[in-house]
Amino acid sequence: MNLLIDQWIPVKKDGAPTHISYKELLCTDYFYELSHPRDDMELAALQLLICLTQCIFMPINRNELVSNIKSSMDEDNFENGIKDYVPWFSLDDS
């Protein structure tokens, strides 16, 4: 499993539990709700997603930050952003 490309994020979509990828989370306009049976694990998932996003997609200035907040990410920008980090986040050494 790889945190940057696989569907591991537990969410509710239209009220039903499912898993989505990091790309789907950042590159769509859909408002997802994290959904984990344990509150502490839900918070941990949120913290991990925030840290990944802040480290991999660090804005260069305030204007870029505001732009990133207002709209979903372009898929090409996502792919370019993660390309150097994919091996780092493989949890099964594949």
Question: Is the predicted pLDDT of residue 48 greater than 70, yes or no?
Answer: yes
Stretch 58-82: mean pLDDT: 90
Burial 22-57 (b: 16+ CB within 10 A, else e): bbbbbbeeeeeeebbeeeeeeeebeeebeebbeebe
pLDDT of residue 68: 82
Question: Is the predicted pLDDT of residue 91 greater than 70, yes or no?
Answer: yes
Least-confidence region, from 10-19, 35-44, 62-71, 77-86: 62-71
pTM of the model: 0.86
Mind giving me the DSSP string for 47-80? HHHHHHHHHHT--SSHHHHHHHHHSPPPHHHHHH
